[in-house]
Amino acid sequence: MGSEVVEMRELPGVVSIREVGPRDGLQNEEPIPTEAKVRLLDALSRTGVRRIEAVSFVHPKAIPQMADADEVWQRATKVDGVRYSALVPNTRGAQRALAAGFTEIEVVVSASDTHNRRNVNRSTAESLDDIAELIDLLHGASAQAEVIIATSFGCPYEGDIDPARVADIVDRVVADGADRVAFGDTTGMGTPRRVRDLLTAVRDRNADIPVLLHFHNTRGTALANLLTALEFGVTEFDASVGGLGGCPYAPGASGNLATEEAVHMLHDMGIDTGIDLDALIGAARLAEDLTARPLPSGILRAGPRTALTPHP
């Protein structure tokens, strides 16, 4: 066996975490009162996190957890230096988000046609046509449009998703003016190999579009995936306080990567996030109280590495 030289790219010094607990997290939990949502949002705004996905503007019948999005957002304390964003499913939602004052807005399409049809009763191609119009609407109102590509690493109905298919979708939304693309590991099927394959396929064709990664820890691979993406120069990641938000396809399974797990690892690697880990753990405890269920975060269970007492 010959020796192999492994070249490792220098890791970034700063990572931008977008906290998605108030939206993606709470949307996948049992509904909690408006006041509780405001408390969580406010606690997170005080952690030093620079981006928060605050709410989604969806039809209350479809997602009752977000029925009070307008009121939550009105009552939340907006902290200087924090960028708040909202997720919208369609034009109606985009108009509500714009009226509420959001200037960073996310829309979702699924790389899997079956998943997209089950979610919004439209093909991926039809949704991409809608998104082109949404991007125009948002840009006309001086807002940024991020396109989240769900099931980028695999689909619960179709299984593997060809990275070339995801790269085609990126080509399309870049042509339509998207300001950023995000890749969602909707059901936690991602692995470092799949992250590598996807980022290679996308970067070969679109080197310049800002990329954000949204990992789930359903099968324990979220931090490994994050590390792999860092080696590709990706610096933007979603994470959810406490690991809030289960897996919609596997009751009882964990979903979103816990923010404090990501922050704990990144800080130990000398990578800045701007986040105060103690304040974040406080927010995670609050999230656990408010949802009245144990959250899957390893840091919540064990405490941070620095809290360990030395072995006698």
Strands 180-184, 211-214: parallel, antiparallel or unpaired by DSSP?
parallel
Q: What is the total count of residues that contact Mg ion (CB under 5 A)?
A: 2
Q: Which one, 54 or 98, has the nearer CB to Mg ion?
A: 54
Q: Which one, 186 or 273, has the nearer CB to Mg ion?
A: 186
Q: Which one, 98 or 189, has the nearer CB to Mg ion?
A: 189
Select from 19, 24, 179, 288 the one that contacts Mg ion (CB under 5 A).
24
Q: Which residue has the tokens 């009882």?
A: 252
Q: Which of residues 172-201 bind Mg ion (CB under 5 A)?
A: none
The question of whether 247 is a catalytic residue gets the answer yes
* Nearest distance from C-beta of residue 207 to Mg ion, angstroms: 26
Site string for Mg ion, 221-260 (x = CB under 5 A): -----------------------------------x----
Q: Which one, 255 or 304, has the nearer CB to Mg ion?
A: 255
Q: What angle in degrees, to the nearest 10, is found between the helix axes of 222-231 and 259-268?
A: 50
* Nearest distance from C-beta of residue 134 to Mg ion, angstroms: 20
* Nearest distance from C-beta of residue 19 to Mg ion, angstroms: 12
* Nearest distance from C-beta of residue 311 to Mg ion, angstroms: 37
From the candidates 178, 247, 284, 295, which is the catalytic residue?
Answer: 247
Q: Give the range of 19-27, 29-37, 139-147, 229-237 binding Mg ion by CB under 5 A.
A: 19-27
Q: Which one, 15 or 108, has the nearer CB to Mg ion?
A: 108
Positive or negative, the CA dihedral 236, 241, 242, 247 is negative
* Nearest distance from C-beta of residue 214 to Mg ion, angstroms: 6
Strands 180-184, 144-150: parallel, antiparallel or unpaired by DSSP?
parallel
Is residue 309 packed enough to be buried (19+ CB in 10 Å), middle (13-18) or exposed (0-12)? Answer: exposed
Which residues are identified as catalytic? 247
Q: Which stretches of the chain bind Mg ion, using CB under 5 A? A: 24, 256
